Structure 1
Amino acid sequence: MDKLIDKVKRILFTPKTAWDDIKAEESTQTSIIKDYLLYLVAIPIVANFIGQAIIGYPLRGDRVNFFRGLIWAVFAYVLYQVSLYVSAMVVNALAPQFESTKNSVAAFKLVAYSSTAALVAGVVAILPSIAPLAILGLIYTIYLFYLGLPVLMETPKEKVVPYTVVSILAIIIISAVIMGIAGAILA
């Protein structure tokens, strides 16, 4: 657990050097999921479950049904990981369009580790009234992605901004589609 916390701190507080370390790491998509994402993805999911099903909105006096919230949490946990995997596939597929090196493991590292800020910021979902503050984590996630692109995907300087913009738009669409499907299934 100490290695996980150390990696989170390095990514959040010293991202420029963290990306070089991440590039040098011998890891696979499976090891990143097992050693990192399984824990970090749980943060916003558990916080949201507690916030929606247990705490609720005190001023409005409503909460999500406990068991419905639990089912949604399990579903969201799995689908979040699927979303990251599909997003990495798209980022990798886009690489040649931006004169970048195509590498599926590097793309997965980029998507997984740049999402750290959003995942950690998801803890604010425990209090539904302040949950919108998680947007700050999303903004920092985009910045982390931007910093990691030239390191992991070897993107030329002049292609980093357009590659970032196109990738983030694709990731938003992927996430919306996957969560939309989940919402339709659980409705």
Structure 2
Amino acid sequence: MTTLIDRARNLILKPAEEWAVIEAEPLDKQAVLIGYVLPLAAIPLVAALIGQTLIGVPGIGRLPLDLVIGGILYSFAASIAGVFVFAFILTKLAPYFGAEADFDRAFKVSAYTPTASWLAGIFMLLPFLGFLTLLGLYSFYLLFLGVPRLMKPPADKATVYTLASIGVAFLLAMVFAAVQTFVVMGSAGSATGL
């Protein structure tokens, strides 16, 4: 299996070729989860922890550690759960678009697609550069290349299936973000005694 650094670099610099490599690899979900997803999903979280508690958020200042920890723990759990939930959704959508309903292939798509988003999270280290996390939108391009390659929809339905997948990914991200807001606000309320 390709190393984490090689895989991430190749997905960013030559994604079409890397999806072909990923397609040919046997899947070991545990190895992908522990050796790729967990370390990359931790990048924005560690960066946010340092940036928000030691450097400070522009216009707000440094945040209390206990407030930041709640959001970070939720984000980490949501990243991991999101890989499995999105793989499940890709698998369930597949028959509607004539694609292969193969959870293992969907898991590969789901595990490797957020690479750009996780890497862009490094900008949370300096909260005033947080806007650069928008570079993580490149993950939608990775999804655009990965879905047709791994899920095998017919050519005439590939674009629609990919767009539906992108829509679902976006909605899933919005749901996780909304829940995170409630978690953080709940943590802030309990920390202040409200």
Residues 146 and 160, structure 1, Cα contact 8 Å, conserved in 2 = no
Question: What residue number does 2:191 align with?
Answer: none
Q: Which runs of 5+ in 2 are unaligned?
A: 187-194
Regions of 4+ moved over 4 Å = none
**Matched residues, percent identical?**
32
What TM-score, normalized by structure 2, do the two folds share? 0.87
RMSD: 1.7
1:92-114 residue CA offsets vs partner (Å, 9 max, x unmatched):
11111111111101111111111
Question: What residue number does 1:147 align with?
Answer: 145
Q: Which has the larger radius of gyration?
A: 2
Q: Which runs of 5+ in 1 are unaligned?
A: none
> What is the total number of aligned residue pairs between the two structures?
184
Residues 28 and 105, structure 1, Cα contact 8 Å, conserved in 2 = no
How many angstroms does 1:61 deviate by? 4.8
Please say if 1:122 is aligned against 2:116. Answer: no
How many angstroms does 1:144 deviate by? 0.9
1:38-78 residue CA offsets vs partner (Å, 9 max, x unmatched):
100001111122222221135x2522211221232122111
Please say if 1:8 is aligned against 2:8. Answer: yes
Question: What residue number does 1:178 align with?
Answer: 176
Residues 54 and 66, structure 1, Cα contact 8 Å, conserved in 2 = no
How many angstroms does 1:83 deviate by? 1.5
SS of structure 1 residue aligned to 2:3 = helix
Measured in 2, the distance between the counterparts of 1:42 and 1:83 equals 14
Question: What residue number does 1:86 align with?
Answer: 85
Residues 8 and 116, structure 1, Cα contact 8 Å, conserved in 2 = yes
1:108-163 residue CA offsets vs partner (Å, 9 max, x unmatched):
1111111111111111111222212211221x111111111121101223322221
Report the residue type matching 1:86 in the other structure. Answer: V
